[in-house]
Amino acid sequence: MKAYDQLPLKYSKLDASTARLAALLEANGLAILKDAWPTALEASALEASRALFLQSDEWKEAHRTANPRSGGFIAYGMTHALDTGIANLLEGWCLSPASDAPLLDIPGSQIFQQVAAELHVIADNVIVALRDHLDGLAAIERLVERSSYQLYALYYPARLLGKVDGAVRQSLHADSSIFTLLPRASCPGLLARVGTRLIPLHLLPGDMALISGTVLEYLTAGRFPACQHSVETPNDAVQRSDRLSLVYFVDARPEAVIEPFAHTSEHRASYPAISVRELLRTSYGSVYADDQTGSC
């Protein structure tokens, strides 16, 4: 069986598939939720993202933020991609700021509010679906608040291609979230570590990847590893096009203190109680060797 074919499960049956979801996250920190949300909303969200990134540089600068969580334009290629070496991720937008005040003065604001609401429901359903296996739903709920759910739009422009041979790829990294939802992007390019292989994830319309972050890894004493992943923009005539993507982070409150769930007692000595802020200070931006690659 191909590596990718082992990852999907139907989102509509998530409440009856908790054992499989837990097994996938335990094996790879990764699962593919099939038919998770409306394809029409997915398409509208990508078009709204395109409209944002087509605005003038002057307009973007007027909406720029120094703090990604405060909402607004982020010049990732200059300020937030220092771990990659090659900043194929040039620009981003935080579309659901920590203040919970919607960004009403940008194109597509109503679409983005719909997207955030839809992904919020999916994220909450994922938390509930893990309840029986983690025995720690309440612990996760204590870690999150409304501002923990962060929607971003990201832009990997084609104009950066042609400057180097081969694909332009981010460093292999893990998110500093509890978990992250990654809907299908406008172009392929999402890669994830599955076992010893780095494979492309072939999402179809309506699909999204669910990946564990460093906080969930800590909460499970390493049982659910943080998914190592990357994004590549192939430098060839066929696939040389802009890549637009949406990312939905379920973060933990920085001031919260976390420790592994009770059922992980045999491993807890290696995971002492720690503040989320301190955990992220030591883990955020961590990158990994990605010399082992493969295809599915």
Q: Which amino acid is at 212?
A: S
Q: Could you list the mean pLDDT of each consecutive 10-residue stretch along the chain, which spans 296 residues?
A: 85 88 94 97 96 91 80 73 57 75 77 93 91 68 85 82 57 89 94 91 96 92 91 64 90 87 64 87 63 44
- 257: helix, strand or coil: strand
In a domain, 86, yes or no: yes
Radius of gyration of the chain (CA): 18
* Helices (runs of H) and strands (runs of E) counted in the chain: 9, 16
| Neighbouring-strand partners of residue 230 | 191
Q: What is the pTM of this model?
A: 0.89
Nearest CA among 13, 31, 32 for reference residue 22: 31
In a domain, 250, yes or no: yes
Question: Which two three-digit tokens encode residue 2?
Answer: 């191909």
- SS3 of 100-164: the string is CCCCCCCCCHHHHHHHHHHHHHHHHHHHHHCHHHHCCHHHHHHHCCHHHEEEEEEEECHHHCCCC
Q: Which amino acid is at 107?
A: P
User: Which CATH number do you get for residue 206?
Assistant: 2.60.120.330
Specify the pLDDT at position 101.
56
Which residues, including other chains, have CB under 8 Å from residue 171's CB and lie 6 or more apart?
83, 84, 85, 230, 287, 288, 290
In a domain, 257, yes or no: yes
Specify the pLDDT at position 287.
62
Nearest CA among 277, 272, 260 for reference residue 218: 260
In a domain, 5, yes or no: no
DSSP letter at 67 equals: S
Specify the pLDDT at position 15.
82
Q: How many domains does the chain have?
A: 1
Specify the pLDDT at position 149.
92
**Pairing assessment for the beta strands 8-10 and 30-34 based on DSSP bridges:** parallel
CA 204 vs. chain centroid, Å, equals 17
Measured CA to CA, the distance from residue 226 to residue 174 in angstroms comes to 6
Measured CA to CA, the distance from residue 191 to residue 201 in angstroms comes to 6
In a domain, 216, yes or no: yes
Q: What is the DSSP string of 178-246?
A: SEEEEE--SS--EEEEETTEEEE--PPTT-EEEEE-HHHHHHTTTSSPPPPEEEEE--STTT-S-EEEE
Structural domain boundaries, residue 137: 12-288
In a domain, 4, yes or no: no
Asked whether 11 and 24 are in contact (CB, 8 A), the reply is no
Measured CA to CA, the distance from residue 33 to residue 208 in angstroms comes to 5
